[in-house]
A = this chain, B = another copy of it.
Amino acid sequence: MKVALAQCNYIVGDITGNSKLILEYVEKAATGGSDLVIFSELAICGYPPLDLLERGSFVESCIEGIHEIAANISAETGVIVGGPEFNSNEEGKLLFNSAWFLLNGKVQQTVRKSLLPTYDIFDEYRYFEPNRQFDILEFRGNKIALTICEDLWDDQPAENRFSRSRLYTRHPLEEMMKFNPDFVVNIAASPFAAGRMEIKKQIFSKKATKHHLPVLMVNQVGANTELIFEGGSLAVAADGSIYKQLALFEEDFAILDTEELIADGAGTKEGEAAEGSGTGERLGAGKSDITDENGYKEKVAGQTTVRATDNRIALINDGLALGVRDYFSKSGFRKATLGLSGGIDSAVTLAIAVQALGNKHLHVLLMPSQYSSDHSISDSEKMARNLQVSYDIIPIRDIFDLYRKALQPVFGDRQEDIAEENIQSRIRGTLLMGLSNKLGHILLNTSNKSETAVGYGTLYGDMAGGLSVLGDVYKVDVYALANYINRDREIIPQNIIDKPPSAELRPDQKDADSLPEYEILDSILELYIGKQWPEEQIAREGFEPDLVKKVIRMVNMSEYKRYQTPPILRISSKAFGVGRRIPIVGRY
């Protein structure tokens, strides 16, 4: 059977636009002689639709859209497309998260999602009733085990006692095996996290191997607010080898013959398209263990290439660029601004923004104060020139002095402290937002994950912006991104990379005055935020116990600040934002 995988970039809520896109790809599949074309989970409305699903009229429009697609396809091509479905049972949640099978101008069948991820950024049980009755899709002599995303994630290995909380009491594919399927289809909306693609491959490879069945996984691509979907749709052969992987971070399409996925050694075919090469253990036959997300390994088509960190960093870079691009294009904006401070965070943010939007769509501000070093301006100007980005220089000293004068009745003769530092940061925020409001540029926030974590930033100052580009990137990875950006030529002036980080909000200030070295800080943060380890366990890894206590305290004390940060592009499996919900008021 000839099956087309259609990896598309949907806009949340745009039923008309998404339908049009789907029909274009159906046409392409039909032209290519496909029997079946597969679209991703909730394709009709884009993922995640969030509380739009609570609006009956919205769901009705989705269903109308699907029926309209059905009415407009040729009789030869079957279509699997994700969309919400009303639950007609008297009780239970109102909706199912369904895969709709369309043929001959009509909706033929729906298959409903059984496992509803409700953790991290996922809230599917908020909207959907889980499926409990299992069925098979029969089409042109093939029996298709049709599953939706999490349905195949039922046996993630337990890293520890607590990660077990993601497991389910049902096993959809096991249930479907009684129908003796010919292959497995998985429609997905599975977001990007660095190192996650490898885990996805291994999960689907294991499923294929276990049941000796091909698995076709079609993922969404594109970013919707903070969530980046990398695409990377997969055709996995019955022996577990990767037969085909679709592009990362862009729309892609492929037609393949499921017969070829059943033959042993099918996976070697991909060798042609594989990037990189090397020798190593063959992926497949279920032998590979799931690798740790942070130890990124790129494995392709029967060969394993252990890549250096820069591949992980390249993926983060491209993921962030897609995140910025889609945030703008899907909101109808084209132009961005940011404050270029002479530090590494704003430099990396600018480079990514230029990759995403083009240098003509950036206009940045350099806003020196009396505490700014000379190089902060010269480095910034060099950076802007390197990328041919226009800029203005607006010194903030006079405004700062006037604020201090105005606040004299309140401040009295109290010593200068963090209050004055924050005023400088808020002056910059106000100038940038002034530019944003006047010229229609969206302000990009330049804070990184390390400083966001410990509260080393000013609310309404450097924490302002429409979108945070680096808010899920630890400082050590910001440096790695800078080096990656400079891989061919010096875009970020080397001095920006080499100089010690400083907020320059008081004379001779250095980050190192208040914070530990970033290598140590980031490691502690990842154990506390990413792995949710308790203080004692982190200290047992060899960190200074007092330092661990201090860092954890800083994280806990700044929850209130993070509540008000812009959406943060998510590149890890635990980012600040909607996927992490910690009480602001509390004692813990």
Q: Which residues of A contact B (CB under 8 A)?
A: 11-14, 17, 46, 48-52, 54-58, 89, 91-95, 118-119, 123, 125-127, 129, 160-162, 164-165, 167-169, 224-225, 326-327, 330-331, 365, 392, 394-396, 398-399, 402-403, 406-407, 409-411, 414, 417-419, 422-423, 426-427, 429-431, 433-435, 437-439, 459-460, 464, 466, 532, 534, 537, 560, 563-567, 578, 580-588
Contacts and interface: CB of A to CB of B under 8 A. Distances in A.
Given A406-B394, A423-B434, A585-B224, A162 B56 contact: yes
22 contacts: A12-B588, A51-B582, A55-B162, A55-B532, A55-B534, A56-B532, A57-B534, A57-B537, A58-B588, A118-B126, A123-B581, A224-B583, A326-B585, A331-B585, A394-B409, A394-B410, A395-B406, A399-B399, A411-B438, A423-B434, A433-B459, A460-B464
A395 B409 CA distance: 12
Interface centre among A92, A326, A410 (most CB of B within 10 A): A410
A402 B165 CA distance: 56
A182 to B, nearest CB: 28
Contacts of A89: 169
A164 to B, nearest CB: 6
A162 B567 contact: no
A403 B422 contact: no
A165 B55 CA distance: 11
A389 B123 CA distance: 45
A106 to B, nearest CB: 24
A125 B165 CA distance: 11
Contact of A407 (B54, B58, B119, B394): B394
Nearest to A127: B165
A423 B419 contact: no
Nearest to A129: B169
Given A51-B581, A119-B126, 15 more contacts: A11-B585, A12-B585, A50-B583, A52-B586, A55-B532, A56-B160, A92-B169, A331-B585, A410-B434, A419-B437, A433-B460, A460-B464, A563-B566, A564-B564, A564-B565
A427 to B, nearest CB: 7
Interface centre among A46, A567, A585 (most CB of B within 10 A): A585
Contact of A585 (B118, B225, B394, B434): B225
A586 B125 contact: no
A114 to B, nearest CB: 14
Contacts of A50: 581-583
Contact of A123 (B123, B395, B419, B580): B123
A175 B564 CA distance: 45
A430 B464 CA distance: 13
Contacts of A326: 585
B434 A583 contact: no
A564 B438 CA distance: 20
Given A165-B94, A403-B399, A48 B13 contact: no
Task: Report the copy number of this chain in the oligomer.
Answer: 2
> Sorted from nearest, which 4 A-B pairs have the closest CB atoms?
A13-B588, A94-B165, A12-B586, A57-B534
A168 B17 CA distance: 35
Contact of A460 (B17, B330, B396, B429): B429
Contacts of A169: 89, 91-92, 129
Contacts of A55: 162, 532, 534
Contacts of A118: 118, 123, 125-126
A117 B464 CA distance: 34
Interface centre among A127, A169, A395, A564 (most CB of B within 10 A): A564
Contacts of A58: 534, 588
Contacts of A434: 403, 407, 410-411, 419, 422-423
A269 to B, nearest CB: 37
B588 A52 contact: yes
Contact of A410 (B392, B430, B567, B583): B392
Nearest to A328: B585
A396 to B, nearest CB: 8
Nearest to A163: B94
Given A13-B583, A119-B126, A563-B567, A407 B435 contact: yes
Nearest to A436: B419
Contacts of A92: 167-169
Contact of A414 (B164, B330, B422, B438): B438
A560 B433 contact: no
A127 B168 CA distance: 12
Contacts of A395: 406
